[in-house]
Amino acid sequence: MKRLLIAYDGSHASDDAIHDLAQAALPPELDVKVISVADVYLPPSLQSGAAGTDMPSPLVRKAEEKALREVEAYRALATRACGRIQALFPKWKCMPVAAADSPGWAIIRQAAEFNADLVVLGSQSHSGLERLFLGSVAHKVAAEAPCSVRIGRQGGESGELRIMVAVDGSADSKAALRAVAARCWPAGTQFRVVTVIDPRLETAITWPEFLPENFVQTNDASGREWISRMMESASRILFDAGLDVANFLYDGHPKDVLVQAGHEWNASALFLGARGLHHGDRLYVGTVAASVASRASCSVEIVRPKPIRH
């Protein structure tokens, strides 16, 4: 991981997301941008600093001046957040960015332009127009960002990190495991690999794009046997990285069970793939990843493997 984008709007939720960075085991050196988005319209000429060619009416000029003030106010927010972040992580290179746009679109666009590896934002807050951050922004960013997304929530102050990783045999859940294994976790951090058995997983053995031959044996009496082997293979990724890991198998609906299991274990963060198992070309992002991110009591990191650039 080299580049981190943090969305900040001055709310308690976005402050919590910054506080949560200390629990994310991120590298000691990163290029960071903090983006604060004013939900206003500002003509492209004013955004670029170029002079307009038409003489605006007094009403238009007044609206543009108000938009410029809003953008500058959000730039001050981003600058303040950068100062706090650099106090926590002195080796991070932090740059504040302000934009005039719809917040969700602005964050997604900046993530693409910055080639971010991870976007961090708060779970719930209000913008200047009192729009629900989780419903209109965080949900959109989690679903459409070109990289992984962390919904940061401030956890307990016990100092003990508990990391849960949801696996279902998909490529993205394997990417989530690798993302966890690649970080430098403090001593004493506990890890759980969790699989939830539902009809989708139980019938995955018959899907053309799923490769169960790595886990299935001809004498298996039930799907639980190959699913257990799949979990063992998944946890080995963490074990080989020197992490203390345990496996847990549940029955039920993943979007409900994962939230409940994380809450009962008092998890610090839950990692899962952006796309789980899916039929053909139909994505499986909204029903599990977005639902868990919205309802979990801990931070949630939705891992999306970045495309390989040729």
Do residues 198 and 138 share a domain? no
Residue 10 lies in a domain: yes
User: What single-letter DSSP state applies at residue 94?
Assistant: E
| Domain stops at, among 152, 187, 221 | 152
Which amino acid, residue 115?
Answer: N
Task: Print the domain residue range for 238.
Answer: 162-303
- Which pair of structure tokens corresponds to residue 203? 């019938």
Q: What does DSSP say about strands 299-303 and 162-166: parallel, antiparallel, or unpaired?
A: unpaired
Calpha distance 192→167 (Å, rounded)? 10
Do residues 135 and 211 share a domain? no
The 10s digit of each residue's pLDDT in 166-222 is 998 888 899 999 999 999 999 999 999 999 988 777 777 666 555 555 676 667 666
Q: What is the CATH number of the domain that holds 238?
A: 3.40.50.620
Residue 157 lies in a domain: no
**Of the candidates 218, 195, 221, 212, the residue with the CA atom closest to the CA atom of residue 276:** 195
- pLDDT band for position 284 (cuts 50, 70, 90): very low
Give the other-Cβ count within 10 Å of 29's Cβ.
11
Do residues 10 and 148 share a domain? yes
Residue 83 lies in a domain: yes
| Domain stops at, among 128, 152, 176 | 152
The label of the residue with tokens 């953008």 reads 71
Do residues 203 and 243 share a domain? yes
pLDDT of residue 64: 82
The enclosing H or E element of 149 equals: strand 148-152
Calpha distance 148→276 (Å, rounded)? 14
Q: What does DSSP say about strands 162-166 and 190-197: parallel, antiparallel, or unpaired?
A: parallel
Q: Lowest-pLDDT range, 12-16, 69-73, 133-137, 300-304?
A: 133-137
Do residues 104 and 208 share a domain? no
Do residues 175 and 257 share a domain? yes
The 10s digit of each residue's pLDDT in 101-121 is 999 999 999 999 999 999 999
Calpha distance 84→82 (Å, rounded)? 5
| Domain stops at, among 103, 123, 152 | 152
Calpha distance 59→295 (Å, rounded)? 44
The number of domains in the chain is 2
